[in-house]
Amino acid sequence: MYYMRKAIEEAKRSIEHQDIPIGALIVYKNEVIASRHNEVELQQDVCAHAEILTIKDAAKVIGYKYLLDCSLYVTLEPCTMCAGAIVLARIPNLIYAASDPKTGACKSLYSITQDHRLNHRCNVVSGILEKESSALIREFFKNIRGIGNRESGIGNRESVVGSR
């Protein structure tokens, strides 16, 4: 729970730039080596998900593209892009807080991280601090809809967690 709490704290930083509050961190040998939050709106880059940014940072720290012996903690179930990156980075452990019924690719819609047809699979644990993470995301969308920010499209999203 300690690492997930840190991921939730990281997720809160996304709100400063109107990004969906999703945070991720990677632990190696009981030490957080990378921690990021969503920056899709900030960077105007659909690939700037917390998981992708964290994986890139962790690879730089370790000095190797494969994140063996690492664990990824994330506040929302990864999408297909992020699940694919997790497999390609060979991260052995994925722990996420809230499920994502609209875009979740680790259990909800797909099981990319555990697909036996792929060259790597990882252990997946879900539901750690799920209520806290879900509440953070719901509150974000409640507030952003109140602002009525139609320019970036944020206010038009129908799902609480369906679009990152």
CA distance linking residue 1 with residue 104, whole number of Å: 21
Report which of 73, 75, 68 is spatially closest to residue 91, judged by C-alpha positions: 68
Given 10, 39, 51, 77, which residue is catalytic?
51
CA distance linking residue 154 with residue 99, whole number of Å: 20
Assess whether 51 carries a catalytic annotation. Answer: yes
HSE toward the beta carbon, residue 5, CA cutoff 13 A: 2
Q: Are 112 and 100 in contact (CB under 8 A)?
A: no
> Among all residues, which ones are annotated catalytic?
51
